[in-house]
Amino acid sequence: MEERTYKCLDCGKSFSRNYSLILHQRIHTGEKPYKCLHCGKNFSRNYTLILHQRTHMGERPPNQLDGGKCVNENSNLITYQKIHTGERPHKCFECGKCFTEKSALVKHQRIHTGERAHKCLHCGKSFSRNYTLIIHQRIHTGEKPHKCLHCGKSFRRNYTLILHQRLHTGEKPYKCLHCGKNYKQKSSLFSHQKIHAGEKPHKCLDCGKSFIHSSQLIRHERLHTGERPYKCLECGKNFSRNHTLILHQRIHTRERPHKCLNCGKCFSRKTNLVTHQRIHTGERPHKCIECGKCFKDKSNLITHQRIHTGGRPHACLDCGKSYSRRSHLTKHQRIHTGECPHKCLSCGESFNRNSNLVTHQRIHMGEKPYKCLDCGKGFSQSSHLIMHQRIHTGYKPYKCSDCEKTFIQRSHLLRHQKVHMGKRHHKCPDCGKRFRKNSHLIMHQRLHVGETS
């Protein structure tokens, strides 16, 4: 037996010849160096190209040239010829589908018979094709023989590698004949074409709404069922979409993969980056037809339009308070639930708003971005700077109703008012409320008169 000294570093398979190893490695690399000049098709072996080229030359099958002897070349040639002629002589009697090879028909018929002859010894799952079993077994073994030469990522299937490589090459071979849009996958093109056809085959049984994709229907049905199968392991919050969970998790990890090339600012969502970039470009594509005001993103326009309509569609089920923005409702509901999803990684303290977390983190970093132009003093919050500036301007907006004394901060006013608390001699006989002046009591008593009249 020949010694197999040439080993594939991708999958561990060994060969007795270096040439055999080179041919084998093309399975992993996807390399097809032999190109047909007639139709542009590529092949990994020169021998396969030669067989293929005979379909263009109309060359007779080898068994008619060598006295009727059948060889492996003949079956390959016949198969190739059927590809170009469109001949599919092997028909399924169950569904009418036709195939170029009998072996393909046999495999197809297992769909109707339910035959699954190839069983996985690890988990007992059965498959109709041996090739599918081999691919499945890689889940158990962890084998990923198909490696991307661009980024080093590995895959169980060569087809998945080919699709992945299109991320690096930008190749989108599937083109829509209606609008010219290109796609990396054939399935994506088929899904897109349903838009032009107006086809929406997936219907919701609860409300009758129809969708182009089955995945869209599944997501929609969760509105009716309330199902939220995707759970955050950090805070326990559940989501109806895996994509929404991934975006949410970036709150905890502080991951911001989308970077602005103009200023270096990073964002957790690509949509936020696109909106941000309009600050640099000055683009405001969303215009209000009522007043002509323009906005960087559509959501801001929708929110703005509620000024004209007075709409507050987002109501709190706990207290009935309504909001024009869903985000405002979400923040408000945390008062009722006590939810604090924004956690400080330095001390562990949690906050119900991300803005509060950002402000808090300045304590750890010593950051004081808000600077007084009069004295140069810095503050961690803009509200603290505003209060400080009143020292320089003399502005005291909080006035005591008892003695008309004014204060810079509301807290100072509340503390001062306690001085007057013991000097309210005029008591209302109806409710017990006290007043400093009798005229104030008389005005107050009119409220009670109005209640009884």
What's the CA gap between 198 and 18, in Å, rounded?
55
Tens of pLDDT along the chain (453 residues)?
567 777 777 777 887 777 788 888 888 787 888 888 888 888 888 877 877 777 676 554 444 333 343 344 455 556 555 555 566 788 888 788 887 778 788 878 777 877 777 888 888 888 877 878 888 888 888 888 888 888 888 888 888 888 888 888 888 888 888 888 888 888 888 888 878 888 888 888 988 888 888 888 888 888 888 888 888 988 989 988 888 888 888 888 888 888 898 888 888 888 888 888 888 888 888 888 889 899 888 888 888 888 888 778 888 888 888 887 788 888 888 888 888 888 898 898 988 888 888 888 888 888 888 899 999 999 888 888 888 998 999 999 888 887 888 998 888 888 887 777 666 677 898 888 887 778 888 888 888 877 655
Under 8 Å between Cβ of 305 and 313: no
| Tokens (6 digits) for 143 | 């084998």
Main-chain dihedrals φ then ψ at residue 270, nearest 5 degrees: -65, -35
Q: Is 55 exposed, middle or buried (0-12, 13-18, 19+ CB in 10 A)?
A: buried
Per DSSP, the three-state class of 99 is strand
pLDDT score, position 63: 43
pTM across the whole model: 0.33
Q: Tokens 């018979």 belong to which residue?
A: 113
Residue with structure tokens 């068994």?
63
Which 3-state string (H, E, C) describes 338-389? CCCCEECCCCCCEECCHHHHHHHHHHHHCCCCEECCCCCCEECCHHHHHHHH
Which class for 173: exposed (0-12), middle (13-18), buried (19 or more C-beta within 10 A)? exposed
Number of neighbouring beta carbons within 10 Å of residue 323: 19
